[in-house]
Structure 1
Amino acid sequence: MTAQACSTVAILIATVVYAAAYTLPGCNNQHGRPMFENSSAFALFTVTDYIAVGCSLTSVVMFLSILVAPLQLRDFHHTLPRTLTMGFTFLFLSVAATMIAFTSTVFLTIHYLEQRRWFRTFCFSLVSAIVSIFAMIQFPLYVSFRETLMNIIKLPKKLLKCVKL
């Protein structure tokens, strides 16, 4: 169930960031080159967009390998937790990279708006707050999940030590 839901989310992210790679922010100049190609925000958008595509597709592969693999009892102690952790890690990285790509796109488009300075500052602050809130909410959840998995992996070893005594 978890692998199905996470693979669906990863596929949606891959679809969105793949489409964003081909519909670059801004328009092209008279030579057919992107208008923002010399901007550092454009470079950040490009790099994070490709990172998001790679991480989301990797997480899809991880979650699909869980769904289609014939798992035996010993796989539930080692292989499954490792694959699930890797899938969650790549999914988290793809969401974070997508948020950074979105933020850099907003920076690009707002920077060239002919609005008042306070409006640009407000938009920059709002986007930065959204990304910060996402990181503050999701990262502790990921750390907690990883610690729980490590404790589950160590549990059979502890039980075996108790039985041998």
Structure 2
Amino acid sequence: MPQAERSTVQGPVPRYDPRVRVPGRGCQDVFDALVAHHASTSVIQDFWWKGTRWGGRTWLASYAGAGAAERFQKLTDGLKSCGTLVGQTSEGRLNSRISQVRTAAFGDEAVTLDLSSTGPDGTALVDHHTWVRVGSLTVDMSDRGAERPPRFPIDVVIDRQLDRLTRESRT
């Protein structure tokens, strides 16, 4: 990404241990999908703006058998009943409101959602997620602070990631 000052890659991504418990009907399934809890393996790529501001992330995960399709179904079912993700992670307290957003057609299946929370300095934070399944793979592409310039080019990331995934799955 030309707008990013730097990019870091983490993989395979360790699972939350102990598992983060998220109360509420369907909320555990939403959280587990967003952190690739049931994946065979996953890798994260973070994009950083100047001033060490986190701009966006891709989280690619691989699942055995029909696991990716099952995770997608659990995510979309969970989004019907879960309005807030609340819990305690190793990074701190999780307290995000969920809003589903109209999703363009990507991959085999896709869903888009916003996670809204309040930052440590009292500012509103919005993480915009597009979660896509292509065969046995999923990728969650997200940005943070989309309301502030420079905006993370999430559409460019989605196009590039999905081009790679669909090209690889065809060969």
**What's the TM-score once normalised by structure 1's chain length?**
0.30
Larger fraction in strand = 2
Flag the structure with higher helix content.
1
Higher RCO structure (Cα 8 Å, ≥6 apart): 1
